[in-house]
Amino acid sequence: MLSTKSFVRRFISAVAVTGCLITGFSVGSWAQSNPGLTIFSGVERENLLRYYLDFGGRPGNWDRYRLRIPSQKMELGVSQFTVNYPDYYDGKFDEEEIEVRVEGEAVPLSEVKWDKEYHRIQIYLQEPILAGNKVELVLSNVKNPRFGGTYYFECRAMSPGDVPLPRYIGTWILTIGNN
């Protein structure tokens, strides 16, 4: 009888510890999936864009950024995206591993330029993306900055035949290393 009580206690303890571990891991990944609660960012709520860091956003490690643009923000067609990032972001991008997905499907790109001096990535599309589509910019093989922090990535877009001034789409507030 005594050994049965001991077994039940050990079993309940093991289930409790396993539950805590699973909960801790899922909350850690969930924290990197969107802008979260942003109170004093200087960016209006309707201009915050969602993102996801596939490998958790650990400082100094390799990652994949999924920068999402909802269909409501795609008011006009787009022929070029420009992603501006702060000068204190010291991560590295792989121009060969950047893609644009529309409704989950990759679209052909004509060119990708990473301008290190002006802290921006320019993505030129072969064919314009039509208005009203959900878009995801996927930056693979990204080397995260050595130190954690908060980084504002701003998205601008050029419409085909438009005056050559990129219009503001929104801002992704990426958090590296705060999980």
Domain-located, residue 24: no
Domain-located, residue 171: yes
Cα separation, 136 vs 65, whole angstroms: 10
Domain hosting 111: range is 31-176
pLDDT in tens, 60-104: 999 999 999 999 999 999 999 999 999 999 999 999 999 999 988
Total count of domains within the chain: 1
Q: pTM of the predicted model, to two decimals?
A: 0.77
Strands 149-158 and 120-129: unpaired
pLDDT in tens, 30-59: 444 555 544 445 666 788 999 999 999 999
